[in-house]
Amino acid sequence: KAGVTQTPRYLIKTRGQQVTLSCSPISGHRSVSWYQQTPGQGLQFLFEYFSETQRNKGNFPGRFSGRQFSNSRSEMNVSTLELGDSALYLCASSLAQGANGELFFGEGSRLTVL
Amino acid sequence: GQQVMQIPQYQHVQEGEDFTTYCNSSTTLSNIQWYKQRPGGHPVFLIQLVKSGEVKKQKRLTFQFGEAKKNSSLHITATQTTDVGTYFCAPGGSTLGRLYFGRGTQLTVWP
């Protein structure tokens, strides 16, 4: 059974640009959650999608957005990048909504903003 | 969100010493999960605790859920260099489920 796949694994952007990250969950998993991880802040919840609908949202500005497709694949977008957006972005899939089940994480997309 | 406090934030031990990390909540939890993230890796599920006072063991790792279901601990006996990483607790059971993690305890093991 394939795990959670995130692309790209690494990317470098400059301030003001925008970026789109992709996540393919484990087959059969309908819940996809996104997290931002930085050394100082740990795992910060961004948002969760279930059945193509955003179910929960963390405390991040509107520059952070996402969506989920009918095949459960999800994308997140960050517009007008700032230096502080440099982080590891992790996607996690789960069978249950609200991430009440075990979370399966991808390897992450490491974003560097220059 | 359903927040938990995790302590300590960092722990440095010599190989062979024991290690414990604690996860505390101000509200009663339905369940709690623990994850481990190796340096450069991604979080990996370790265990879920559901019952009040539950104790589960995985080889040298002992997980405990408090009687009031407001705290949990992870204890590693005789640490090894392979135990290096960050250990996160994640509360579950509310509408928000497991979406909010503790800040994690970063364990360093000196050979």
Q: How many helices (H) and strands (E) does chain A have?
A: 0, 11
Q: Assign B59 a pLDDT band (cuts: 50, 70, 90).
A: very high
Residue A100: what pLDDT? 65
By the CB < 8 Å criterion, does B39 face chain A? no
Mean pLDDT (chain B, rounded): 92
| Mean pLDDT for the stretch of residues A11-22 | 98
Residue A98: what pLDDT? 65
Candidates B44, B65, B7, B109; CA nearest to A92 is B44
Measure the CA–CA gap between A95 and A31, rounded to whole angstroms.
6
Mean pLDDT (chain A, rounded): 93
Residue B27: what pLDDT? 87
By the CB < 8 Å criterion, does A33 face chain B? yes
Kindly identify which residue of chain A lies nearest to residue B93, measuring between CA atoms: A100
Residues of A in contact with B48 (CB under 8 A): 102
Tokens of A45: 């919840």
Share of chain A above pLDDT 90, in %: 82
Share of chain B above pLDDT 70, in %: 93
Element containing residue A88 per DSSP (H, E): strand A87-94
pLDDT at B79 over 70: yes
Q: Are A58 and B1 inside 8 Å of each other by CB?
A: yes
Position with higher pLDDT, A102 vs A24: A24
Q: Assign B30 a pLDDT band (cuts: 50, 70, 90).
A: confident
